[in-house]
Amino acid sequence: MNKKIIALISLSILTLTVIGFFAFYRLKTESKTEPVVSTASVTQVAKSKKINPEVKVSQEVEVVQEVLPEVEPEVSQLAEVQDEDNSMRDQMLERIRSLAESDVLSAAQLAEGLDPGDMRREALNMVAIVFANQNVEASMKWASSLPAGEDRDSAIKYLSYEIAMREPVTALKYGMDELPESTDRNELIKYAALQWASTDPEAALFWADQIADEALRDAVLTNVTTAWSERDPQTALRFAKQMINEGRDQNDAIASIIARLEQQDPEAAKELKQDYMPQQ
């Protein structure tokens, strides 16, 4: 009940037109017609009670108390419709996921044919993950061929993360070429570099040191040196101190490396902590 009151209070601010219920107008199936609240229903109720629909905020609670009993049944019906829609959405996504396992191109076609929105984006992301595990090159071509926009960027991001777990260099090149500059792109770069460093830290370090954006460079070097510490913590510490600019990233890298070393060799970690973290 509290949630419904809060919702109706928000609607009254927008002159009680119940704009928020427009999204439900499209929720129709062949077997049954869902209940829909008319855009004028609340306003009409208000008028019938001689309540000005353009009330001030200070009067909202009184208006809600007057109007709520007559629109509450419609709100409940709309909640039931939303539950049914969520169920249909889950069924569609599961169908696409299952189809992608056996026929990823058909699943991709089905996902691309969905109406724009969250479900289409989630379906494309799901196809991208499955596709990446089947054929890296073909999956990249498919994602790149999607129409420009948020859905394409999202599919490429999910695809690149999946590829990075096995082919980090491929994921780095692809993600950097295809994604616009953004926080998501930077996070992908840091993740792929971390995966690269776990198998070839020297190459990953050399590459990361060439990044022009200093903030991104330091963040990537933090990941690389931290991954390197699994093999050679002392070398990783030296590079973290020499290559990462003084500041938060360098402090985080040193602290992370020493914390890992403490699990392997507490005495060595204690000595290095005195050298690299004297303030501690």
CA dist 233 and 257 (Å) reads: 6
Sorted by sequence, the CB contacts under 8 Å of residue 179 that are 6+ apart come out as 153, 156, 157, 160, 185, 188
Identity of the highest mean pLDDT range in 35-39, 116-120, 185-189: 185-189
Quick one: 23 and 56 in the same domain?
yes
State how far Cα 156 lies from the chain centre.
13
CA dist 118 and 146 (Å) reads: 16
What total of structural domains would you count in the chain? 3
Quick one: 13 and 90 in the same domain?
yes
57 pLDDT above the threshold of 90: no
Quick one: 80 and 124 in the same domain?
no
Quick one: 249 and 220 in the same domain?
yes
What's residue 46's pLDDT?
42
Q: Where are the alpha helices (DSSP H) in 37-167?
A: 41-48, 60-102, 104-112, 118-132, 136-145, 150-164
Quick one: 94 and 120 in the same domain?
no
Out of 135, 152, 180, a domain closes at: 180
Quick one: 8 and 94 in the same domain?
yes
Q: What is the pTM of this model?
A: 0.67
Quick one: 1 and 94 in the same domain?
yes
**Could you tell me which residue, 39 or 105, shows the higher pLDDT?**
105
Q: 188: helix, coil or strand?
A: helix
Out of 63, 84, 100, a domain closes at: 100
Quick one: 59 and 72 in the same domain?
yes
Is residue 148 situated within a structural domain? yes
Cβ neighbour number for residue 250 with a 10 Å cutoff:
20
Out of 100, 130, 165, a domain closes at: 100
Place of tokens 């030296």: 238
Is residue 192 situated within a structural domain? no
Determine the structural domain holding residue 112 and report its residue range: 103-180
pLDDT in tens, 73-109: 554 555 555 555 678 888 888 999 899 999 999 999 9
What's residue 230's pLDDT?
87
Quick one: 256 and 205 in the same domain?
yes
Identity of the highest mean pLDDT range in 1-5, 64-68, 209-213: 209-213
What's residue 50's pLDDT?
45
pLDDT in tens, 182-238: 999 999 999 999 999 999 999 999 999 999 999 999 999 999 999 998 888 889 998
Are 41 and 53 in contact by the 8 Å Cβ rule? The answer is no
Secondary structure of the chain: what % helix, strand, coil (to 5)? 75, 0, 25
